[in-house]
Amino acid sequence: MEQALEILFTASFWVAAIRIASPLIFATMGELICERAGVLNLGIEGIMTVGAFAGWFTVYSGGDLWTGVAIAALAGAMFGLLHATLTVPLGLSQHVVGIGITLLATSLTYFTYRLALPEVTSPPKIEPFQPLPIPGLSQIPVVGEALFAQTPLTYLAFATVAVVAWVLYRTPLGLAMRAAGENPSAVEAQGISVTGIRMGAVMAGSALMAVGGAFLTMSAFNSFFFEMINGRGWICIALVVFGSWRPGKALLGAILFAAFDAYQIRLQQLSGGVVPYQVFLMMPYVLSILALVLVARRATYPKALMIPYQKGER
Amino acid sequence: MSYTSPTAEPPVLRLSGITKRFGALTANDAISFELNKGEVVALLGENGAGKTTLMNILFGHYVADEGSIEAFGQTLPPGDPKAALAAGIGMVHQHFTLADNMTVLENIALGTESLWRPRLDRASARTRIAKLAADFGLAVNPDARVGALSVGERQRVEILKALYRDARVLILDEPTAVLTPAETEALFRTLKMLVANGLSIIFISHKLGEVMAVSDRVLVLRSGRLAGERATARTTRQELAALMVGQEVKQPAVAPVTRGEALFVMNDVSTSARGAGAALDQVSLTLFAGEIVGLAGVSGNGQAALAGLIAGAERPVSGEMLIAGRAVANWSTRAALDHGIARIPEDRHAVGTIGDMSVTENVISERYRSARFSRHGFLDWKAARNFAEGLIRDYDVKCPSPEARIRLLSGGNMQKLILGRALDPDPAIVLANQPARGLDVGAVAYVHGKLLEARARGAAVLLISEDLDEIMALSDRILVISKGRLSAPSARGERTIGEIGELMAGHLERAA
């Protein structure tokens, strides 16, 4: 028991928590942007897979790491464009399109992987992002190690939260995005294209999701393997609700979930096989359901979320 | 016909030959008019006459099939709200175009700055809003979330939005439909100030009183055509009403009917408080056959509880209810229907109809279980469709087909269908909650006529309304509800409007 509590005060636990949180932060911000503009993007799981592969493959083929991130983002944006085209101007069901995008993107990724690397049995490795301790700050005990001795992509994840929050609340563009998700006719009445805002939001959001996927192959691990997204995309959808569509709260949610995850891995080692390991694997999900029940009941959805906007319809 | 403009300047707006068709329906048929600087032009017409369509064309939401629009001498490109905005045309829609999750300031600033500016200039927006608000009597807190504002305040935000964009022409679509009388007064004062500052206003309405009060000139639309143009000072309500509906509007005559037996009795009934409105507090009420009982009162004083109770949506916590002399058990909406209580709900969009279902589905929604519309648990669509077609014919409903989604119908036509659904089975008891709210002159007269018919047939009618003229005109007995309690009844003509108004304000005499 004492040991179980001690885990919470070790630096390695928090380092792991922040590392596990990083891809979730990217993808959650991506989903949040889409939903704030009124589009539920269930393509997230597949788009993360695409990002994971595209980033890794770029580096594997000789590109540098940052080029890999950019290519991942671009690939994500392309799937975002497909999603947005179907759901925004054509007004198709966002659920159906989203799940379709996830299936398509995932399968296409595996297909491409097989085509590109037909002979390979064990996944080839790349040289991933290395930790970049920030001088001074990283010397602070526990906190410093957890927050300031991570890879550059983790820093980028935190910066993304700040940028998303700034854009949403401090810029004219953010106003238009939030209004597009709440009452699109308010946007249209000002001569701004709802279609443009929503498509842009879905593309930008999808790019962030893909970078979240790329984090896994380029920072957390060093190779691409099947099923590696493993439901993280779906967790991000829950995190957006948990965060009440606010970037700061969603960030907290991502860190909380990641902490649960890091904790259960360590508890598994402590339990010594008495409790089946699946119980520990399940724990973060059970806890996040509980957290959702507590928080999401009071959540106020963007009112136009999932409602296609057709100009001139009454 | 034309009239000399108040100023010698060229017109700020000129619409020429605007025609717009939706399928077989011609919503606007070659409409032309001009708007001059500093005048208020009222666009008067019944629901469905094409007023809103015309304004949506002007504002670029719709593209006209024919015709053109000039603003300040420049032709407006069709279907481009941005161009309309840039030309100084501002529109306050009937359904507000505000985002509830944003503040007043954010809503006003939306779209006024380039989307790619890295920072919204809140400080200067705040200053400008404060100045406009002070200049035109449009007080509103810029940091309040719009979702938390009253309807009147939201409208002020909409007007501020237009002024913030330097609108020179302001279009108001049915602006008073949602306002209290005091808010309407304030709006009219604001409009006068705007006109004094050189703005021009198009005021869309179907309420004659308001049109007479606020406009300089009236354009009357009927079935998509311009039916006439009058200077407000030189016309009368009667003339405008006749132009609007194409004939003289006759007030339905109230023939004397002998009161029959007691069909519905409530003895000392109380309900538990729920929602914003007052609960009923030991209310006793008897509805007799062949009688209209009018229930007057300021909204929120227990009307919702009473209507809910009679409709079966609510149960009494104490007291008893008798229908045709027998106490009711297991009171529910289904029981109410089975007892022959017909309901005309207060909110026809939210409660009265299911917008995305067809006319046919809506008109059988209260009786789909009856042998007439179902057999062995399967719906008889043929009977249902015949029934819908019958109602459309008998109640003179304008709708493309029984298969049309009901939300595409205008309010008046929707209400006619609800009336038909309620009155077709010759119900013994009719609960009419605000049956004429938001309807135009012709439709109001129609609804009133139908209620009087039900009375003549021997039904007991409870008419709940906030419109005292309506209560006075129709009711055989008048009751006033205040804070969940009923006043003593008064017979037709026994109390003046003033006395009833006083009762509404809460000076209840002891029930006899």
- Please say whether the beta carbons of A69 and A218 come within 8 A: yes
d(CA B402, CA B387): 10
Closest CA to B60 of B99, B92, B95, B89: B89
User: Could you give the ipTM of this predicted complex?
Assistant: 0.89
pLDDT for residue A314: 43
Q: Is there a domain that residue A311 lies in?
A: no
User: Minimal Cα–Cα distance from A84 to chain B, Å?
Assistant: 20
Q: What is the pLDDT of residue A276?
A: 85
By Cβ distance, the residue of A189, A300, A302 closest to B81 is: A189
Q: Is B99 on the interface with A (CB under 8 A)?
A: yes
Q: Which residues contact A7 (CB under 8 A, 6 or more apart)?
A: A13, A263, A266, A267, A270
Q: Report how far apart, in Å, the C-alpha atoms of B148 and of each of B103, B122, B175, B442 are.
A: 9, 20, 20, 36
SS3 readout for chain A? CHHHHHHHHCHHHHHHHHHHHHHHHHHHHHHHHHHHCCCCCCCHHHHHHHHHHHHHHHHHCCCCHHHHHHHHHHHHHHHHHHHHHHHCCCCCCHHHHHHHHHHHHHHHHHHHHHHHCCCCCCCCCCCCCCCCCCCCHHHCCCHHHHHHCCCHHHHHHHHHHHHHHHHHHHCHHHHHHHHHHHCHHHHHHCCCCHHHHHHHHHHHHHHHHHHHHHHHHHHHCCCCCCCCCCCHHHHHHHHHHHCCCCHHHHHHHHHHHHHHHHHHHHHHHHHCCCCCHHHHHHHHHHHHHHHHHHHHCCCCCCCCCCCCCCCCCC
pLDDT tops 60 at residue B4: no
pLDDT tens digits for range A97-111: 999 999 999 999 999
How far apart are alpha carbons B359 and B489 in whole angstroms?
A: 39
Give the DSSP letter of residue B279. Answer: P
Question: Are the CB atoms for B489 and B477 separated by under 8 Å?
Answer: yes
pLDDT of the residue at B56: 87
A198 within domain boundaries: yes
Task: Please report whether residue A138 resides in a domain.
Answer: no
| B242: amino acid identity, one letter | A
pLDDT score of A170 more than 90: yes
Which chain B residues have a beta carbon less than 8 Å from that of A192? 110-111, 115
CATH code (residue A202): 1.10.3470
CA distance linking residue B162 with residue B369, whole number of Å: 51
Contact criterion met (CB below 8 Å) for B201 and B187: no
Q: How confident is the model at residue B276 (pLDDT cuts 50, 70, 90)?
A: low
Residues 6+ apart with CB under 8 A from A93: A87
Domains of chain B with bracketed CATH: 13-245 (3.40.50.300), 262-504 (3.40.50.300)
Band (pLDDT 50/70/90 cuts) for residue B2 is very low
pLDDT grade for B277, boundaries at 50, 70 and 90: confident
- Do B484 and B305 form a contact (C-beta atoms < 8 A)? yes
Tokens read off for A118? 């037909």
Q: Residue A144 falls within a domain, yes or no?
A: no
Rounded distance, CA A201 to CA A32, Å? 9
Q: In sequence order, what are the beta bridge partners of B482?
A: B485
Alpha helices (runs of H) in B215-263, residue ranges in sequence order:
237-245
Q: Does A300 touch chain B (CB under 8 A)?
A: yes
Interchain CB contacts (distance < 8 Å): A and B: 87
Residue B248: what pLDDT?
59
Residue A63 lies in a domain: yes
For the segment B201-220, what is each residue's pLDDT rounded down to a tens digit?
999 988 888 899 999 999 99
* Residue A85 belongs to a domain: yes
Count helices and strands (H / E) in chain B.
Answer: 16, 23
Residues of B in contact with A185 (CB under 8 A): 93, 95, 97
Among A183, A191, A300, whose Cβ lies nearest the Cβ of B111? A191
**How many domains does chain A divide into?**
1
pLDDT digits (tens, 9 = 90+) for B124-149: 999 999 999 999 989 899 999 998 88
In a domain, A186, yes or no: yes
Mean pLDDT score of chain B: 88
Residues of B in contact with A170 (CB under 8 A): 119-120
CB B33 within 8 A of CB B69: no
For B288-306, b/e burial (b = at least 16 CB within 10 A) is: bbbbbbbbbbbeebbbbbb
Q: Residue A274 has which token pair?
A: 């008495």
- Provide the domain limits for residue A162: 2-115+150-296
Q: Are B283 and B484 in contact (CB under 8 A)?
A: yes
Strand pairing of B485-486 and B25-35?
Answer: unpaired
- Out of B75-89, B238-252, B428-442, least confident range: B238-252
pLDDT tens, position by position, A266-280: 888 887 778 888 888
* Higher local confidence (pLDDT), A156 or B21: A156
> Domain for residue A92, yes or no?
yes
d(CA A276, CA A268): 9
Chain B contact for A186 (CB, 8 A cutoff):
yes
Contact B431, B313 (CB under 8 A): no
SS3 call for B138: coil
- Most B CBs within 10 A among A190, A192, A197, A244, hence the mutation to make, goes to A190
Each residue of B315-372: pLDDT tens digit? 899 999 999 888 888 899 999 998 999 999 988 888 889 989 999 999 999 888 888 9
**What are the tokens at A57?**
């493959």
Q: Is the CB of residue A190 less than 8 Å away from at least one CB of chain B?
A: yes
Looking at the DSSP bridge assignments, the partners of residue B432 are B344, B463
